[in-house]
Structure 1
Amino acid sequence: MIKIVRVRLAKPLLKLSFLGALLAFSTPAAAWWEYGHETVARIALEEASPAARAEVRRMLRQGALLDTPTCPIATVGQAAEWADCVRAMGDRFSYTAPWHYQNVNVCRPFDQSSACANGNCVSAQVERNFRLLKDRALPRRERLQALLFLIHFAGDLHQPLHAGDRGDLGGNRFRAYYSRIQSNLHAIWDGYLAERSISTPPADAHGLLSAFGRDERRGMAQGSVEDWARESWEVSRRFAYGGVLADPCGEVLSEPPVISQEQIRDLIPVVRTQITRGGLRLARLLDEALG
């Protein structure tokens, strides 16, 4: 059962025109825009142990080791987005493209292995980079990259359309309207809906955390990576596709569906919960690897 926390709405955010262009070209590897990834990372640092938090900050001061000056890691936001930023560097990091998602069909029984050949999926890379980060015998540069990938992929795993789809590239081929804005399902969950949800008061990392008590947070951090993937897959089926189709596996009509303001209000707590889950679970992984 998906836990839903009801929150008070803010007025819709005004969008700059260039954000519309970003939505039009959204791909399965550009999850949650910068805001979502940064919020997951900030929740994780808030909830991690003091020892793990201090180690993360110490490692982030070693950005020169990466030799990626166009993709700095001087801030938490930059660190959370590094894995997307370096993809623009061409051959050097192009092999990481399939690590950001796993297109597990929501209309069939959950089968993570079907989308994780040779470890090329987000779940496998969360586990792999956790192991690398934990291995203190590895070179500093390799562990630093593992930290940055882990921060980013923990966020990706909790974007439902990175965990489950209908054979439509994570909803990129599913046309839909966000109120009056024509886009696609993936871009709506990555961008407009994510930004609206995180910025709804109480906003940002502290605001999202305030909706859950200490025992609730501890419970949300439990489980395996596969458990988290199955949960995100179910959110994709039930809310991403089920939010625009009476049957999430039913026929897609030629006319793009419209996600109304009323539906948006219902989806906001779902997205806020997913972001919070991602941050709490990342905090647990950081504690186990660095604490």
Structure 2
Amino acid sequence: MPTTLLAFLSLLVALIGIPSESRAWGQEGHSIVAELAERRLSKGAKEVLEAALGPGVSLASISSWSDDWRANGHNETKRWHFVDIDVSATRPYDPLVDCKHEEEGDCIVAALDRFTAIISDPNVSPSDKRAAVMFITHLIGDLHQPLHCSERDHDGGGNLFFVTFDGRKEDRKEAITFHSLWDSVLILERIYSWGTMVADIEASVMPGINAKIVAEGSFADWANECHAAGITAYSLLNEVPPKAHDKDYPLPLGTPYADATVQIMKLQLAKGGIGLARVLNTALGTGNSDAD
């Protein structure tokens, strides 16, 4: 691992440390993925994580930290959070096309490869391991949010596509981005606390999943699966008005869209939790979870 990256990790941990809470997938989605993963960690991985993060620090509590770091002026990490592949693409993820190094970083697949190499190295310092764990916890959540792996007509994963949302619980009369809808609004439409969604997924989604199969594959494979979910997220929209890039002409959405996408949303959160547990167990522990 390049010494410049390790030095960067040590510096950011020294400056920021472990936050007691993070700002607002949004904060709720990342907390859900992190909690689902923590319940599936091996004993060995739990012990290493406790040594790296500190006693009593949960994965959920640090799951949004890297968003805060980026928001505090560190744009060199911006592209680590996504890989934009157009929904019209008929090819799989291609690093030469989708993960070019730019001033704002390369892409989420490359970033996760780097951070996983760091936590797998027994000679890495505790501060480097801690920072890498914090990034991994967040980025694997991002890798399962459909609009972090897809876009349509260069809309930046829905960040340049505006909608309103009128649902049962959430009511967003002002224009928001389609990306924000998937980051938080569709989750908040269903829950009053993220713990409620964890319980729902454990009861209604996890029993129907073969966790061993879900956990297989590389980060590139997961990006392709996430992109497929993004294709569905866009395909379930009504016809998009030509001016939807202008927030004065947003596409109205509501309960029908939330109902049509709720199972996709829950499944992606579940896959994120299973995938995060696999990465941490393999890199830090025995490779087997306590839930197996």
SS in structure 1 of the partner of residue 157 of structure 2 = coil
- Give 1:157 shift: 0.6
- Give 1:272 shift: 0.7
Among 179, 195, 216, the alignment partner of 1:222 is 216
- Give 1:238 shift: 1.3
How many residue pairs get aligned? The number is 246
Give yes or no for contact 1:36–1:195 (8 Å, CA) kept in 2.
Answer: no
SS in structure 2 of the partner of residue 43 of structure 1 = helix
- Give 1:290 shift: 0.5
Instruction: Say whether 1:94 aligns with 2:87.
Output: no
Give yes or no for contact 1:202–1:208 (8 Å, CA) kept in 2.
Answer: no
Q: Name whichever of 178-187 and 73-82 sits farther off.
A: 73-82
Alignment of 1:109-258 (within 5 A): 109=90, 110-113=92-95, 114-118=97-101, 120-166=106-152, 167-179=154-166, 181=172, 182-197=175-190, 203-211=196-204, 212-213=206-207, 216-239=210-233, 241-245=234-238, 252=242, 255-258=249-252
TM, length-normalised to structure 2: 0.76
- Give 1:83 shift: 0.7
State the Cα RMSD in Å: 2.5
- Give 1:253 shift: 5.4
What do the CA deviations read for 1:152-177 (whole angstroms, capped 9, x no partner)? 10001111111010111110111112
Identity over aligned pairs, percent: 27
Where does residue 19 of structure 2 map in the other structure?
none
| Pair 1:200–1:146, CA change in 2 (3 A) | closer
Q: Partners of 1:280 and 1:147 in 2: how far apart?
A: 16
- Give 1:198 shift: 5.7
Q: Name whichever of 250-259 and 51-60 sits farther off.
A: 250-259
Where does residue 15 of structure 1 map in the other structure?
none
Where does residue 8 of structure 2 map in the other structure?
none
| Pair 1:275–1:31, CA change in 2 (3 A) | farther
- Give 1:202 shift: 9.0
SS in structure 2 of the partner of residue 111 of structure 1 = coil
Q: Partners of 2:191 and 2:49 in 1: how far apart?
A: 24
| Pair 1:143–1:267, CA change in 2 (3 A) | same
| Pair 1:98–1:31, CA change in 2 (3 A) | farther
Give yes or no for contact 1:133–1:143 (8 Å, CA) kept in 2.
Answer: yes
SS in structure 2 of the partner of residue 203 of structure 1 = helix
Q: Partners of 1:202 and 1:186 in 2: how far apart?
A: 23
What do the CA deviations read for 1:113-159 (whole angstroms, capped 9, x no partner)? 22211371111111211111100111221111111111010001111
- Give 1:245 shift: 3.6
Give yes or no for contact 2:32–2:195 (8 Å, CA) kept in 1.
Answer: no
Q: Partners of 2:211 and 2:58 in 1: how far apart?
A: 25
Q: Which amino acid aligns with 2:149?
A: A
